[in-house]
Structure 1
Amino acid sequence: MRKIFPDARSALDGLTFDGMTVMSGGFGLCGIPENLIAALRDSGVKGLTVISNNAGVDGFGLGQLLETRQIKKMISSYVGENKEFERQYLAGELELEFNPQGTLAERIRAGGAGIPAFFTATGVGTLVAEGKEVRTFGEREYVMETGLVADLSIVKAWKADEAGNLIYRKTARNFNPMMATAGKVCVVEVEEIVPVGTLDPDHVHTPGIYVDRLIQGSFEKRIEQRTVRARADA
């Protein structure tokens, strides 16, 4: 099966629907699938539950989907510098499920591994544990957290071969590898696609078995726009 699609819009064709759950890789603006996020915005899909460390910044990344009111709920660990994220939450316009960052990462990893729930000491005795089962193991209390899965995972990697084997670059790895395993469908954007056999198997971070669709993203124009916007804000 050929996995390579010509652009982000065609790669998402037939995969989006109102009320769906989407995992979006990245940490801050590092390693975000920016072309796929823009295509998701342009699709007009609504009522999204988005699982991501944060929601980009105002006007960029997932921040675009907040501005268009396409996100109903965020499952994340960080509001960051996104003023619209904060405003919508405080105004009661956006549902928010906060997770300690390590717990969020483990919930995603567990979902991809088929683990329905696990226990962690993080958050015991705080708001994080409210309404959740707490058990004692040894002499310490642990709160039960559930694994996370999504209808769609959108992921950013550095390089891929035509079979979808992925390599991430430095800190852009972040949440992307575990999200690639936890979506019912995984769509990936990369900076370079090479022939099968080019990548050293020992360097592959995500095997192609997890990747359903693949695009080579265009980044130069978006970087230029972001620079212009930053200069204007300054």
Structure 2
Amino acid sequence: MKKVYDTAFDALDGLLHDGMLIAAGGFGLCGIPELLISAIRDAGTKDLTVASNNAGVDDFGLGILLETRQVKKMMSSYVGENAEFMRQYLSGELELEFNPQGTLAERMRAGGAGIAGFYTKTGVGTQIAEGKEHKDFDGETYILERGIFADLAIVKAWKADETGNLVFRKTARNFNPPAAMCGRVCVAEVEEIVPRGELDGDEIHLPGIYVHRLIQGDHEKRIEKRTTRAA
């Protein structure tokens, strides 16, 4: 089964359609699938629902899909660095489903594991719990959260082999694996592709069975907030 494609456009061929649900990996600007996001923008796919920890910034990451009005709804836990996101949300142009960060990650992981829903105490007694099923376990109240089953997952890894086994670096490892797992099809972009058998099995963070298509590319690696101290 061929998994390695030449470009992001080629890797997404036949996968995109209006109104789809996309799970996107990354944390802030770390480990985001920037090449695949740009290819989705160029394809013009619209009315998207995107499940992601964040919405990028105004001119980078998922922010470029907001600029072109291709996103109808965001399912996120943090959106504080994107002024266009705020403008669209406050003006009623963009739907928003806020999720506690751990809940969002678990919803993705649950979808990848075939789990339709799970109960959690996170959000009980807040707006997060409104309209959701409540259930008592051992005298404690829990709310039901649904697993996320995305039409497409787009993720960014550091290294892969030709079969799609992925290795992530540091913070990029938090949302990328569960995002990859919950997609009916997963496309990954990486910095380096090595021959099969070259990766040590103990260093693989996501098995290639979850990854259907793969590209190698150059990445900008922006710093979201640069903090320095006087010399």
Shared fold, TM over 0.5: yes
Structure 1 moving runs of 4+ over 6 Å: none
- Cα shift at 1:149: 1.1
More helix, by proportion? 1
**Partner residue in 2 for 1:11:** 11
**Partner residue in 2 for 1:76:** 76
**Partner residue in 2 for 1:49:** 49
- Cα shift at 1:181: 1.0
Distance 1:90 1:80 in 2: 13
1:201 aligns with 2:194: no
- 8 Å CA contact retained: 1:160, 1:192: yes
1:96 aligns with 2:96: yes
For residues 128-147 of structure 1, what are the structure 2 equivalents within 5 Å?
128-147=128-147
1:87 aligns with 2:87: yes
Tell me the secondary structure at the aligned position of residue 72 of structure 2. strand
**Partner residue in 1 for 2:34:** 34
The aligned amino acid for 1:41 is: R
- 8 Å CA contact retained: 1:167, 1:206: yes
The aligned amino acid for 1:156 is: K
- 8 Å CA contact retained: 1:47, 1:71: yes
1:161 aligns with 2:161: yes
What is the RMSD computed on CA atoms of the aligned residues? Answer: 1.2
- 8 Å CA contact retained: 1:105, 1:175: yes
Q: Unmatched 5+ residue regions in structure 1?
A: none
- Cα shift at 1:171: 1.0
**Partner residue in 1 for 2:229:** none
Tell me the secondary structure at the aligned position of residue 202 of structure 1. helix
Distance 2:162 2:63 in 1: 31
The aligned amino acid for 1:80 is: G
Distance 2:217 2:83 in 1: 28
- 8 Å CA contact retained: 1:31, 1:174: no
- Cα shift at 1:2: 1.4
Distance 1:139 1:3 in 2: 49
Distance 2:164 2:118 in 1: 30
Deviations 1:127-172 (A, max 9, x none): 0000001111112110110000100000100000011110001111
- 8 Å CA contact retained: 1:129, 1:143: yes
Count the aligned residue pairs: 224
The aligned amino acid for 1:199 is: L
Tell me the secondary structure at the aligned position of residue 123 of structure 1. coil
The aligned amino acid for 2:190 is: V
The aligned amino acid for 1:112 is: G
Tell me the secondary structure at the aligned position of residue 84 of structure 2. helix
Deviations 1:37-89 (A, max 9, x none): 00010000000000000100001000000000000000010112100111111
- Cα shift at 1:218: 1.7
The aligned amino acid for 2:75 is: I
- Cα shift at 1:25: 0.3
Distance 1:171 1:185 in 2: 23
- Cα shift at 1:180: 1.2
For residues 117-132 of structure 1, what are the structure 2 equivalents within 5 Å?
117-132=117-132
Q: Unmatched 5+ residue regions in structure 2?
A: 227-231
> What is the TM-score of this pair, normalised by structure 1?
0.94
Deviations 1:174-195 (A, max 9, x none): 2001111110100000000000
Distance 1:179 1:105 in 2: 8
